[in-house]
Chains A and B, each alone.
Chain A
Amino acid sequence: MKTATEIDIQTEGEMPRLHYLNVEIGVKSWLLTTDHKRIGILYLWTILVFFLIASVAAAMMRIELLTPQGDFVTNETYNKLFTIHGVLMVWFFLIPSIPTVLGNFVIPPMIGGVDTGWTFYTPYSTTYANSHVITMAGGVFVAGFSSIITGMNFMTTIHKMRAPGLTWFRLPLFIWSMYATSVILVLATPVLAITLAVMCVERIWGVGVFDPKLGGDPILFQHMFWFYSHPAVYIMILPGMGVISELITCFSRKRIFGYGFVAAASMAIAVLGFLVWGHHMFVSGQSVYAGMVFSILSFLVAIPSAIKVFNWTATLHKGSIYFTTPMLYALGFIGLFTIGGMTGLFLATLAVDVHVHDSYFVIAHFHYIMVGGMVMAFMGGLHYWWPKITGRLYPEFAGKLAAMITFLGFNLTFFPQFILGYLGMPRRYHAYPPEFQLFNVLSTAGASILGVGYLLPLIYFLWSLKFGRVAGPNPWRATGLEWQTPSPPPKHNFEKTPTVTERPYGYSPEEDVDLHLASI
């Protein structure tokens, strides 16, 4: 994507004198900021804290599950641990991760906009310590509003603030996937808010909606919960797919294969994703015929995901492939997402779901999508845009090492859980029969390796803030508009709004570029 404006002046090997990080200083300048880039940074720190707490909870669960008996923590503590792990990871890490950190940071410069237009305060309260239902629901309720507003903000920004010449089919695919995500955020999250509000009304005033003792229907709660929560799964994975499209094309130095199909697949997922919630309820006592409708629709929603995987693979053909850290995460993503997606078909198949429902098979499946997919994409994206965010490069060798450790540790943690699930180990079990021990031990061993894979980047990212090599405006020689500003960008991104005259991803595989990195 070439633009009519010159790249803003940044002297080789030096940080820009004035940028968004140092233009204002002090706590107040951060907390009251209206700069989308600073908001992205605030989100990064917030979700990092939640990720660490939720990871510690997961580690304690894996230690408990080393032995069949419940001997490390009590069953009550174990129940609190998986509740904390689930709520924090889903609502306070996965859902906000790519949209709020990378989305807030890169959407405006990626489309040549000046700022996101309007803004909001860092919205999370620390409700995790209290396991009371109403406080928990309250926290998720508030976070839900953050989701809705984020979605509206992105949709208005993408509609109204694109640079001149940046037509819909010149948009980077990350923007398409964020647009699809925003549609789901705006349409689905209110249903969650309604559900939680109704639940509180029932608990406080005894109005029977879900409680059969009060004349309510507990299955209705499941319908409402999954009407939000299944689309929410796509809120979690679509941004990851967008990041992968950017990484694959940049490090293959080639235009993405089937741009239109990849973009349309995002929108198809957003639409079909609303029609499959009942596949969580095949054994809940809902009608057999409802089960059949939800089953076929669930198979259909797998098609656009498959299209994306095939297009990413085809993009590599005749490319010039650079094995940088972000690319390793992207390739890892494709592998893990493929396995996660295929095992989703097992769950969409009615008869097989009757057996594996609520077993470790389900746990393994959605961790392949959420951790193997989304977290890998988040890490890939964070490494890719880290030079833009901080102005400095992370150490490439340590980055590659961490990516490979994460990939190995992840597989060792979660692959045994597929087998455990088919063997019949139910989820949320604090103690289990002894024949399940072998695979639980393997899983815990994997989790400790995975932990190393996550701690390494934490260390070298912090190190790079001070000691990392100065990146310059465009260390990856990438074509996106966000790479046309200095790193870190100035407060207003572009001194002059750029004009776009070409389709995205104008890479040329035959040209050998030096990325200033130690190459394998």
Chain B
Amino acid sequence: MDKFRLFPPEASTSAQQIDWIYFALVALTFLICIIVFVPIISFAIKYRRGSKADRSNPRVESVLIESGWTIVPLLIFIGLFGWGAVVYFHVENPPRDALQVIVVGKQWMWRLQHAEGKQEINELHVPVARAVELTMTSQDVIHSFFVPAFRLHQDVVPGKYTREWFRATRTGEYHIFCSQYCGTQHSAMIGRVVVMEPVDYARWLNTGQPMESIALAGERLFRERGCSGCHSVNSKFHAPLLEGTYRKPVPLETGEMVTVDERYVRDSILLPGKEIAKGYQNIMPSFAGTLSEEEIMQLIAYIKSIGNQTPSNESAPNEQR
């Protein structure tokens, strides 16, 4: 058995912030218990049946007392809410410079891929002191990616992307648990995060097979699966060009505006008829069932990577026609 512990290791910046709120709540709980239990015990002794205590004119109502024990907890609760909300907002919004990792949950394993292309199963190697953002989805049921040492927890939901981020503060190995019940082997869906010094991480990242980055893999898929046959300037079909569209608003046939983001790109690949861009026909076939979750995420990474380009003949793949 490992050494005796009351708290898990504190290994990320959010872990420190969350632990402070936790300690404040523990202190408040002790205080309230004293405020309630000390009177209960002393009244129980003083006013036990047959004792000689003075029982004349017992009070049974007081608006002043009632208001007091309503308003004071209310103010404390509003303060706690605010503190928790501020930290939550921080925990839920990744910084812009975060390293990107994609995560796909399935019964009963985690598949991860770093932006540089390195793939892992049930393990996540990260450098210390760098923000790391996980973009996650599931290919079957809902899972949840939980790293207690980072106080980090996010459901991984089929059909949509969720994200979480952390900045590790100390090197070491920490548990990854699936914490959303996902079937028979739920408790076997565990893994570990390995937090390394930046130099060790760089060395780790460059060992093994030469890698194709996620965006490059997406570009390759864009050609191999025929996307570029239509989505290019040389196409004989009328399809939107995707360069320079990511994170930009797009008008739809229905008159609505949507922002091109992960959700929109994903839906356009799997359910192309759902939101047709204005001025185009519903002619694209669905790729549902023919692309894996990783491949969809790689395609999105590619479209993201050309988000600052403008369409031109040179940038268009040229093996068409």
Contacts and interface: CB of A to CB of B under 8 A. Distances in A.
A342 B32 contact: yes
B275 to A, nearest CB: 13
Contacts of A460: none
Given A258-B61, A320-B49, A350-B84, A76 B146 contact: no
A75 B151 contact: no
A76 B154 CA distance: 25
Contacts of A261: 66
Given A75-B185, A317-B43, A352-B25, A334 B155 contact: no
Given A255-B60, A256-B60, A313-B39, A438 B4 contact: yes
A78 to B, nearest CB: 8
Given A212-B158, A351-B84, A431 B142 contact: no
B199 interface: no
A435 B177 CA distance: 14
24 contacts: A79-B183, A79-B184, A257-B60, A288-B88, A295-B81, A307-B69, A307-B70, A316-B44, A316-B47, A317-B39, A342-B28, A345-B25, A348-B81, A349-B21, A349-B83, A351-B17, A357-B153, A422-B22, A423-B8, A424-B177, A426-B146, A426-B178, A433-B175, A435-B5
Contact of A321 (B33, B44, B190): B44
Interface of A (DSSP majority class) = helix
A426 B158 CA distance: 21
Contacts of A359: 146, 148, 179
Nearest to A346: B25
A257 B65 CA distance: 11
Contacts of A252: 47
A483 interface: no
B113 to A, nearest CB: 21
Given A352-B84, A355-B151, A218 B21 contact: no
Interface stretch (A6-14, A191-199, A225-233, A296-304): A296-304
Nearest to A505: B60
A321 B159 contact: no
B288 to A, nearest CB: 9
B18 A352 contact: yes
Contacts of B152: 354-355
Given A257-B60, A359-B179, A435 B48 contact: no
Given A306-B69, A355-B153, 7 more contacts: A215-B271, A252-B47, A291-B88, A343-B29, A351-B91, A353-B84, A422-B6
A314 interface: yes
B153 A358 contact: yes
A269 B4 CA distance: 40
A292 interface: yes
B203 interface: no
A117 interface: no
Contacts of A257: 59-61
Interface string B246-261: 0000000000000000
Interface in B177-228: 177-181, 183-188, 190
A509 interface: yes
Given A212-B160, A258-B66, A352-B25, A339 B33 contact: yes
Interface in A427-445: 427-435, 437-438
B48 A321 contact: yes
A397 interface: no
Given A313-B39, A422-B7, A423-B148, A352 B177 contact: no
A357 B178 CA distance: 12
A323 interface: yes
A314 B65 contact: yes
Interface in B111-158: 142, 144, 146, 148-149, 151-155, 157-158
A434 B4 CA distance: 11
Interface stretch (B72-80, B99-107, B231-239, B313-321): B72-80
Given A331-B44, A431-B188, A338 B33 contact: yes
Contacts of B39: 313, 316-317
B144 A358 contact: yes
Nearest to A351: B87
A124 interface: no
A510 B56 contact: yes
A354 B153 contact: yes
Contact of A342 (B21, B33, B159, B181): B33
B155 A303 contact: no
Nearest to A354: B153
Contacts of B175: 424, 433
A296 B78 contact: yes
Nearest to B3: A435
A132 to B, nearest CB: 15
A75 B183 CA distance: 9
Contacts of B96: none
A303 B151 contact: no
B47 A320 contact: yes
A299 B77 contact: yes
A429 B2 contact: no
B279 interface: no
B69 A310 contact: yes
A320 B50 CA distance: 7
Given A299-B78, A307-B69, A314-B65, A512 B188 contact: no
A366 interface: no
Given A75-B185, A288-B92, A283 B155 contact: yes
B162 A285 contact: yes
Interface in B1-45: 1-2, 4-8, 14, 17-18, 21-22, 25, 28-29, 32-33, 36-37, 39-40, 43-44
Contacts of A355: 18, 22, 148, 151-153
Nearest to A217: B159
A190 interface: no
B55 A509 contact: yes
Contacts of A311: 66
A75 B187 contact: yes
Interface in A322-367: 322-323, 331, 334-335, 338-339, 342-343, 345-346, 348-355, 357-359
B143 to A, nearest CB: 11
A302 B77 contact: yes
A75 B154 CA distance: 24
A184 interface: no
Interface string B297-318: 0000000000000000000000
B37 A335 contact: yes
Contact of A354 (B88, B93, B190): B88
A303 B32 CA distance: 13
A283 B153 CA distance: 7
Nearest to B79: A299
Contacts of B83: 349, 351
Nearest to A316: B43
Contacts of B22: 346, 352, 355, 422
A321 B81 contact: no
Interface string A372-400: 00000000000000000000000000000
A299 B25 CA distance: 13
Contacts of B162: 285
Nearest to A317: B43
B157 A285 contact: yes
Nearest to A221: B142
